[in-house]
Amino acid sequence: MAKIRKSWYNADSCMKVKIIILSMLVAVFALADAGFFAVSVRAEEDAQDVQEKLEKTIDKKEEVEQELSTAQTMLQKTQAQIGTTKNLLNKTESEMSRKEKEIENLEQRIELNKKILESYVQEMYMGGQDPLLGLVAGEKSINDMSENFDQILSIKEKVLLILEDIDQAKDELNGVKEELEEKKEDHEKLLSVQQGQQYEINSDIKEAQASLSELNAKINKLRGELSKLLGSAVSFKNVTDAASFAAKVTGIRKDYLLGVLVVESNLGRYTGGCNYKESRMSGARAETFKNICKELDYNYQKQKVSCPPSGYSGTGGAMGVAQFMPDTWVGYKSSIAAVTGHNPPDPWNLTDGVVAMALKLAKVDGVKQHKKSAEAKAYCIYLAGGNWAAYCDSKGVNYGEKVLYWADNYEKMMD
């Protein structure tokens, strides 16, 4: 009996030890799961913070690029003005040089006519020294002397008139010369101001270029951090290849698709950081999501979707690069499969996602004809459905225009 009790006691002790060990293991695993979940949540929060910083930095870069473009335009305008002012200055200096030469010629004419006048005066004086001697000698008559005298007086008057005209012309030339000197001085002052503006604009351009270099370095660093947090392996070539394929089969612009991809998922780099519970999607939508994952052999508990928006009330749950909600994706499944040959199509597959995006956007009239207004409207409908007009408001945030901007500038995301 004692042996039986001892055996039972030993068995009971072993069982208790096993229970304790098992409980400890369960606790450890529970703590590990909790720790993993906490790390996952922190990683998602960190990714969102980095994404926000990246977007702000890109916005700042756009502002600096605009400032740089404005400064470069102003520099070109100022350089053109400097060129015009220099030409006017050179022209004025040439005119001054010509006027100085004319004044010099007039002064020479004045001197010549003064000598002519002086010779006539001397002749009159010499002729008038001994008029009676001429009469006595019989060499000249009174009439001859009178005629000679009158002739000399007439020439003198003419010379005096010439001198007066020359003096008047000289005064006029001096007046023009003074005006030209004032004009030259004005041109020189204007040129000095314009050159000062040119220096300031060049300084602004250098400062903007330095800021751009700093911002590009910051963007690259933030993208590196984001890539580590998200573990994304999507390359720019992958994205452009998928966009080219989708554009070809649907007839819409590749660049427009890339613009939508920038706004929706940062060119496929950020496709969500929450699980289906954290996304707060509705019960029906969650069931649809689970069915999609089951069909694709994904673990629905771990598959990432978009998080709930922080700026307004709503739910997350959008999937993949196209950011389709599960129920929306189901509505496009057959159309996507017909294009890509993937059956079932995968919302986390780049090609399937971009094709889905293109098929939905192409439904709006004018998108296949590459009309910008239709493209802007199509994205607002893509974003908000029947409430699309509120997102294409020219007075507020116009998401359609934002997509069109990135359609022309998506390569900046790769700087």
Of 15-24, 188-197, 266-275, highest mean pLDDT:
188-197
What is the number of other CB atoms lying within 10 angstroms of the CB of residue 261?
29
Dihedral sign (CA 100, 106, 109, 113): negative
The yes-or-no verdict on residue 266 having pLDDT over 90 is no
Quick check: 324 and 247 in contact, CB under 8 A? no
Structure-token pair, residue 90: 């050179």
CATH of domain 1-231: 1.10.287
Burial environment of residue 358 by CB neighbours within 10 A (0 to 12, 13 to 18, 19 or more): buried
- Predicted local confidence at residue 228, as pLDDT: 46
All residues at 6 or more sequence positions from 299 whose CB lies less than 8 Å from its CB, including other chains? 293
Beta bridge pairs of residue 398: 392
**pLDDT at position 146, please?**
55
> What pLDDT, in 10s, does the model give residues 40-86?
344 445 556 666 776 788 788 888 888 888 988 988 988 899 989 88
- Distance between CA atoms of residues 148 and 134, nearest Å: 13
Q: Which of 41, 198, 180, 212 is nearest to 98 (CA)?
A: 180
Per the prediction, the chain carries an average pLDDT of 75
Reply yes or no on whether the pLDDT at 367 is more than 70. Answer: yes
Maximal CA-CA distance, the chain:
199
Q: Above pLDDT 70, what percent of the chain?
A: 68
- Range of weakest confidence among 133-137, 156-160, 221-225, 314-318: 133-137
Contact 212, 65 (CB under 8 A): yes
Domain residue ranges in the chain: 1-231, 232-414
Euclidean distance between CA atoms 130 and 114, whole angstroms: 26
Averaged pLDDT for residues 14-36 = 42
Residue 296, SS3 per DSSP: helix
Determine the 3-state secondary structure of 47 from DSSP: helix
- Give pTM, 2 decimals: 0.46
Lowest mean pLDDT among 44-58, 297-311, 323-337, 344-358: 44-58
pLDDT in tens, 168-182: 777 877 787 788 888
Q: Which two tokens stand for residue 252?
A: 């819409």
Structure tokens at 148: 């000679």
The predicted pLDDT at position 134 comes to 47
Lowest mean pLDDT of 142-146, 281-285, 289-293, name the range.
Answer: 142-146
Burial class of residue 179 (count of CB atoms within 10 Å of its CB; 0-12, 13-18, 19+): middle
